[in-house]
Amino acid sequence: MNVLFVFPSEREASVANFRRAPLVCDSGTLAGDVVAAELSESRPDLVLLSGFCGSLDPSLKPGSLILGRQVIAPGEDVIDPDRLMVEEIRSGLRASGLPFVYSRLLTVPAPAATRAAKRELWNEFGAGGVDMETYWVAEACRKARVNWIAVRAVLDTSSQALPRSLHAWERPGDEALTAAGAIRHPAEWPAYVRLASQYRAARRSLAAALPHVVRAVRDAKTVETLELV
């Protein structure tokens, strides 16, 4: 099976070694454009989007894994991944013993930065995780009639406010600007230290999960290969 691995940033793409270089899609609607452009040139059997996310589900901790049950964005319709494929991956992850949840993902245009914002999004959308790419990538896949799945690792929790200098973050290229803002505000440093520790947990989880996801994809019984009983 030909799988296209997609990550929002080089940093997230570096969690594992891939035989073929993964696609870095950036954030926001641009992520959809990047994937759509790639799908117009190649024809993978599956797009596997992975990376970090914020948690809206209060039961999730840094490093918790979320296998996308479906994805939604404000004002948009829900998009479901291929049920058969996602069930295969769910079974594979469960067999691996890695803790994960099978939940909805929400895609928003800006970081969900405060506890109140996260609570509001949780009450309205009931999504376990929040990110800035999944919906647009899923939409590009839907238009190209290519299956997709999303596996995310929680970076920041629902009870955690992000440092103020991160609130305006829009895309991976903003990291230098964010760092400059953080340097000017020492009061935010403890929050960044905490995030750095959580980043390591999220990275470890993703690195542990991806081989199992890949194995499950490889072993998946697609509709064409299912034997008739």
Contact 111, 169 (CB under 8 A): yes
Q: Say whether residue 59 binds another protein (CB under 8 A).
A: yes
Site for another protein in 140-169 (CB under 8 A): 158
Q: Say whether residue 127 binds another protein (CB under 8 A).
A: yes
103 vs 165, beta carbon nearer another protein: 103
Q: Say whether residue 124 binds another protein (CB under 8 A).
A: yes
Q: Say whether residue 80 binds another protein (CB under 8 A).
A: no
Stretch that binds another protein, among 114-122, 185-193, 203-211, 219-227 (CB under 8 A): 114-122
**HEC per residue, the chain:** CCEEEEECCHHHHCCCCCCCCCEECCCCHHHHHHHHHHHHHCCCCEEEEEEEEEECCCCCCCCCEEEEEEEECCCCCCECCCHHHHHHHHHHHHHHCCCEEEEEEEECCCCCCCHHHHHHHHHHHCCCEEECCHHHHHHHHHHHCCEEEEEEEEEECCCCCCCHHHCCCCCHHHHHHHHHHHHHCHHHHHHHHHHHHHHHHHHHHHHHHHHHHHHHHHHCCCCCCCCCC
Stretch that binds another protein, among 17-25, 99-107, 164-172, 182-190 (CB under 8 A): 99-107
Stretch that binds another protein, among 45-53, 101-109, 164-172, 215-223 (CB under 8 A): 101-109
94 vs 194, beta carbon nearer another protein: 94
Q: Say whether residue 123 binds another protein (CB under 8 A).
A: yes
**Number of chain positions touching another protein (CB under 8 A):** 22
Q: Say whether residue 119 binds another protein (CB under 8 A).
A: yes
Stretch that binds another protein, among 97-105, 162-170, 171-179, 183-191 (CB under 8 A): 97-105
Contact 130, 115 (CB under 8 A): no
Task: Supply the Cα-derived Rg of the chain in whole angstroms.
Answer: 17
C-alpha torsion angle, residues 94, 214, 130, 143 (rounded to 10): -120
Among 49, 118, 138, 216, binds another protein (CB under 8 A): 118
Q: Say whether residue 63 binds another protein (CB under 8 A).
A: no
Q: How far is the CB of 101 from another protein (least distance, A)?
A: 5
15 vs 121, beta carbon nearer another protein: 121
The residues of the shown chain that bind another protein, judged by CB under 8 A, are 56-59, 69, 94, 99-104, 118-119, 122-128, 158
